[in-house]
């Protein structure tokens, strides 16, 4: 039994709390998806069983839609694909991801009567759909999906009423959990995890959720493990304390976070950080030069300039015009640097983009300087054990490493590792990458300390290859 129980969390509705003390990095519970699908746009590049990205995946010969790492992954997924496979074959093409997900949920409900195991703490009927709060436009989209669903749903499957189908679409819309690939770099699909749906939001949460892709490719079947999410504790949680995760990135001022949450999840966040606007001052910081700060008018002008510049930067980046991105970023930084403080979000966004693009263009030395500034800002803003912070430190470590700044690179790798061991655990593919990196930077650092010139000539040999 997992050490959790459902309780009434006041205005927030139901919540989950722990029944014993939990320590940092502990998995509070793991949960296999009730149903999950790969996004339409990635259906040819991501395994429909373990959600890993895969070059030249193996295609299902029947529907020609589903793709897998190999036959082992295909076999592991057959149970959830069987009915879908014949439905896709019948209509000649796969419907969109929402329709595929709702159909998978329904096939599963009909097979298992909705409750999958004793460990499942809620039924899908009890999860909110927020249909009454949808805008007329969203409601129209939902009705189109319902229509597509009925074209797809096979005549030989049990008939379902339109209200229930609409409930499921609404429920998936606000309870679906986005799944990322094995490196945590790209959102690749969406799944429904009923217990996870019970975990309420807090902008400064005590838990995080990661996807563990499982191991279905092990030669020995006894070593197979299922794709699952893990709810991991970010620090010590006392017995009886409510479990929380953050549904949005903390790096938005409280007013913006509240707006995002209202729009996507239909509630007003009343967490401590939103109510008191904690760290809003840092996120909108104005530079202080010998007791002098820019006037409110100047700050507003640079803020407006930044917002417009970021739109142009994003456009240039999408077009792959990286020289234009650099030019725009430099222009923007020239205006921002004298006015904004180090933790100002507009400044950090530009710094993060310029560092990323410089890396892409192999200008690692310059990129490392910007990456360091991003990290200094993030460190003051994010909660200490945050996956986003850990990943940012990891990226900065790689940048410094490529720039030949081995001392900083190694210490950043160690810092990232200390966070990821908590947010992702020792067995996660990202943590393992980081561990391999740490071994390598440690070796190079030793060499560097013994003889700097030998280290640099070795590096040049490696780089010239
Ligand atoms: Zn796979
Ligand atoms: Zn198939
Ligand atoms: Zn909040």
**pLDDT per residue as tens digits for the range 87-117:** 999 999 999 999 999 999 999 988 876 555 6
| CA 47 / ligand 1 centre spacing (Å) | 5
pLDDT bucket at 463, cuts 50 / 70 / 90: confident
Which bound ligand lies closest to the C-alpha atom of 254?
A: 3
Residue 220 has pLDDT above 70, yes or no: no
Ligand 1 centroid distance, CA of 419 (Å): 27
Judge whether residue 341 has pLDDT over 80.
yes
Instruction: Tell me: pLDDT of 119 over 80.
Output: no
Distances (CA, A) of 359 to 367, 374, 398, 403: 6, 14, 10, 10
Distance 340 CA to ligand 3 centre (A): 24
Residue 116 in contact with residue 192, Cβ under 8 Å?
no
Q: What is the pLDDT of residue 180?
A: 87
For every residue of 138-184, DSSP letters joined together read: HHHHHHHHHHHHHHHS-TTSPP--HHHHHHHHHHHHHH-EEEE-TTS
pLDDT of 222 reads 58
Q: How far is the CA of 78 from the centre of ligand 2 (A)?
A: 8
d(CA 152, CA 144): 13
The ligand placed nearest to the CA atom of residue 71 is 1
pLDDT at 146 over 90: yes
Question: Where do the structural domains in the chain lie, given as residue ranges?
Answer: 41-185, 257-464
User: Average model confidence (pLDDT) for the chain?
Assistant: 93
Q: What is the mean pLDDT of residues 214-235?
A: 76
**Overall average pLDDT of the 389-397 stretch:** 96
CA distances from 338 to 289, 294, 335, 353, 367 (A): 9, 8, 7, 19, 20
**How many CB atoms sit inside 10 A of residue 454's CB?**
11
Residues 164, 172: contact at Cβ < 8 Å?
Answer: no
Nearest ligand (C-alpha, residue 59): 2
Q: Which residues line ion ligand 1, judged by CB < 5 Å? A: 47, 49-50, 69, 73
What is residue 415's predicted lDDT score, i.e. its pLDDT? 98
pTM for the model: 0.91
- Please, which pLDDT band fits residue 156 given cuts at 50, 70 and 90? confident
- Where is 431: in which H helix or E strand? helix 429-450
* Band (197; pLDDT cuts 50, 70, 90): very high
What is the model's pLDDT at position 456? 87
- H helices present in 229-362, as ranges: 254-265, 272-275, 280-283, 296-318, 322-336, 345-360
CATH number belonging to domain 257-464: 1.25.40.10
Nearest alpha carbon to residue 209 among 179, 188, 186: 179
Residue 276 pLDDT? 98
């Amino acid at each position: 039994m997992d050490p959790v129980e459902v309780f009434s969390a006041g205005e927030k509705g139901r919540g989950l709390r722990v029944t014993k003390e939990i320590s940092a990095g502990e998995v509070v519970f793991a949960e296999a998806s009730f149903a999950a699908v790969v996004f339409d746009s990635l259906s040819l590049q991501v395994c429909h069983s373990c959600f890993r990205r895969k070059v030249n995946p193996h295609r299902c010969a029947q529907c020609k839609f589903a793709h897998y790492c190999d036959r082992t992954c295909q076999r592991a997924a057959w149970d959830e694909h069987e009915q879908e496979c014949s439905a896709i074959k019948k209509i000649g093409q796969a419907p969109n991801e929402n329709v595929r997900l709702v159909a998978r949920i329904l096939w599963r409900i009909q097979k298992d009567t909705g409750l999958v195991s004793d460990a499942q703490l809620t039924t899908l009927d009890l999860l909110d759909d927020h249909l009454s709060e949808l805008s007329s436009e969203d409601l129209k989209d939902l009705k189109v999906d319902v229509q597509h669903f009925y074209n797809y749903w096979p005549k030989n499957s049990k008939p379902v009423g339109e209200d229930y189908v609409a409930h499921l679409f609404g429920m998936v819309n606000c309870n679906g959990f986005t799944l990322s690939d094995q490196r945590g770099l790209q959102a690749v699909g969406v799944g429904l995890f009923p217990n996870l749906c019970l975990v309420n939001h807090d902008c400064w949460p005590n838990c995080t959720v990661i996807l563990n892709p499982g191991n279905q490719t092990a030669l020995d079947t006894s070593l197979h493990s299922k794709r699952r999410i893990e709810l991991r504790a970010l620090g010590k949680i006392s017995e009886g304390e409510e479990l929380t995760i953050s549904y949005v990135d903390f790096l938005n001022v409280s007013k913006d976070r509240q707006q995002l949450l209202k729009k996507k999840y239909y509630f007003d966040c009343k967490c401590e950080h939103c109510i008191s606007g904690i760290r809003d001052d840092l996120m909108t910081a104005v530079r202080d030069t010998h007791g002098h700060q820019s006037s409110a008018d100047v700050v507003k002008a640079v803020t407006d300039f930044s917002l417009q510049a970021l739109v142009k930067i994003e456009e240039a980046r999408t077009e792959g015009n990286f020289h234009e991105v650099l030019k725009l970023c430099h222009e923007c930084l020239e205006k921002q640097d004298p006015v904004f403080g180090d933790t100002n979000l507009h400044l950090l966004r530009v710094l993060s983009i310029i560092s990323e693009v410089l890396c892409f263009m192999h200008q690692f030395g310059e990129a490392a300087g910007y990456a360091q500034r991003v990290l200094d800002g993030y460190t003051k803003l994010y909660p200490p054990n945050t996956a986003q912070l850990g990943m940012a430190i990891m990226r900065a470590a790689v940048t410094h490493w490529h720039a030949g700044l081995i001392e900083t690179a190694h210490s950043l790798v160690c810092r990232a590792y200390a966070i990821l061991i908590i947010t992702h655990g020792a067995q996660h593919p990202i943590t393992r990458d980081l561990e391999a990196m740490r071994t390598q930077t440690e070796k190079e650092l030793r060499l560097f300390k013994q003889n700097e010139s030998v280290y640099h000539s070795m590096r040049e040999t490696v780089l010239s290859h």
